[in-house]
Amino acid sequence: MNALIGRAVAVLRNRPAGLISDFDGTLSEIAPTPEAADLRPECRAALEALSTTLELVALVSGRTVADLKAKVGLPGIVYIGLHGADWDGGSAADPAITRLAEWLGDRLGPAARLELKGPGFAVHYRGSPDPAEARRRILDLLSGRIPPGHVLTEGKQVVEVRPAKANKGEAVRRLIAGFKLRGVVYLGDDLTDADAFRAVAQWRARGGGAGLAVAVAGPETPLEVIAAADEVLVSVEDACQFLNRLALGLSRRTDP
């Protein structure tokens, strides 16, 4: 991990600098239900330290901002929810989405759980006796029913319907522009994070600044995510260790 820490410290010495991270599966272990997931204590300490050192620490999640804030609760962090659709916790409900969610909810049965999130919704099938069958049923039900301007995406045992224009790549671009960042490290574990990895790589390739995309690979992490990353960590525990050592590295002076 030493080489990775050195690389990340070098990236974040380009100021203003930002650490941007996903939450579930990256800073918190994947849990049987979204409610059961919790920020790992070591990660909490690292985020606190980094938020006093860097110009930006941001969390970009599929959760709503309200949900994310309740889980993390740290001041001095920018919270972005719904994969980039929820910037201030004030995301409005969308009638077409609410109707579709209600229609789906009546047909899902107990094998899947629907979570309405304002302008989008998620259908979780973790815990279903036959996850492959549950997934197929959800996709069949939604086939041809996605409202215009929305997309269907999949994550770890979850199917989501959300606004098409919002994705984590767009969120990263907005953060870079808004905070005039010159150095960015992004951490994530799932398909929606691959958009952010590619945004970082494109920005770096254009000469926008120094960037590093780090995949936190768990047993369910798709290969596409790992392929889009610059570096790979193998667990949430490692991600927390990485962030703590990053905070320590950044607090040291480079000058003799």
Which chain residues interact with Mg ion by CB under 5 A? 22, 24-25, 189-190
Q: Given the complex with Mg ion, which of 25 and 209 has the nearer CB atom? A: 25
Question: Residue 32 corresponds to which tokens in the numbers above?
Answer: 């049987």
Q: Given the complex with Mg ion, which of 25 and 183 has the nearer CB atom? A: 25
For residue 213, the one-letter residue type is A
Active-site residue flag, 106: no
Contact present, 39 and 70 (Cβ < 8 Å)? no
Q: Given the complex with Mg ion, which of 171 and 210 has the nearer CB atom? A: 171
Least distance in angstroms from the C-beta of 15 to Mg ion: 28
Least distance in angstroms from the C-beta of 160 to Mg ion: 12
Which residue of the chain is nearest Mg ion when measured via CB? 25
Least distance in angstroms from the C-beta of 22 to Mg ion: 4
State the Cα–Cα distance between residues 98 and 254, nearest whole angstrom. 53
Q: Given the complex with Mg ion, which of 25 and 169 has the nearer CB atom? A: 25
Least distance in angstroms from the C-beta of 191 to Mg ion: 9
| DSSP secondary structure string for all residues of 194-237 | HHHHHHHHHHHHTTS-EEEEEEE--TT--HHHHHH-SEEE-SHH
Least distance in angstroms from the C-beta of 24 to Mg ion: 4
Q: Given the complex with Mg ion, which of 115 and 189 has the nearer CB atom? A: 189
Catalytic sites, residue numbers: 22
